[in-house]
Amino acid sequence: MARYTADIRWALAEGEDFAAGRYSRGHTIRFDGEIEVPGSASPHVVGKWAVEAAVDPEEMLVAALSSCHMLSVLHVARLAGFVARAYRDHAEGTMEEIAPGRQAVTRVVLRPRIDWSGEIPDAETLAELHHKAHDTCFIANSVRTEVTIA
């Protein structure tokens, strides 16, 4: 069993009004290895109280799915005898209402582009690699969000 941690820190700033909802949603997220990332609620959710230059939870979910898929594709491609030289993705998540007053990231579309060295997998083989990668991706296995490849 593996364990993963994240430390979250937030504090009310001088002059902010917590009871009225007039406070910054900006915070810090620290991961093992001591990397610290500025975090915030999404501007789509809290408007001016968000920190636009920070990463929000919805973006982190999309990035986690994309990153996990990439790592899984690289692994299954290597096992299949292919050599990847570069990988790019422009992933996009969609937030929707799933019940009155409840929202969720219901769909994430991954748009991976892979540069190969040597033999290049045909379309059918590439689709199979993506399917195997999706099945082995720990994050995809952990969410109900629909994940598709475009």
CA 56 to chain centre: 10
CA 119 to chain centre: 30
With 0-12 / 13-18 / 19 or more C-beta atoms within 10 angstroms meaning exposed / middle / buried, residue 133 is: buried
Q: Average the pLDDT over 13-20 and give the result.
A: 97
**Mean pLDDT, residues 56-72:** 97
What's the pLDDT tens digit per position in 97-145?
Answer: 999 999 999 999 999 999 999 999 999 999 999 999 999 999 999 999 9
Q: How confident is the model at residue 70 (pLDDT cuts 50, 70, 90)?
A: very high
The pLDDT assigned to 141 comes to 94
In this prediction, residue 33 carries a pLDDT of 82
Share of the chain above pLDDT 70, in %: 100
Query: From start to end of the chain, where are the E strands?
Result: 6-9, 27-31, 36-39, 83-88, 92-99, 102-110, 113-117, 146-149
Query: What pLDDT does 4 receive?
Result: 92
**Model confidence at 83: pLDDT above 90:** yes
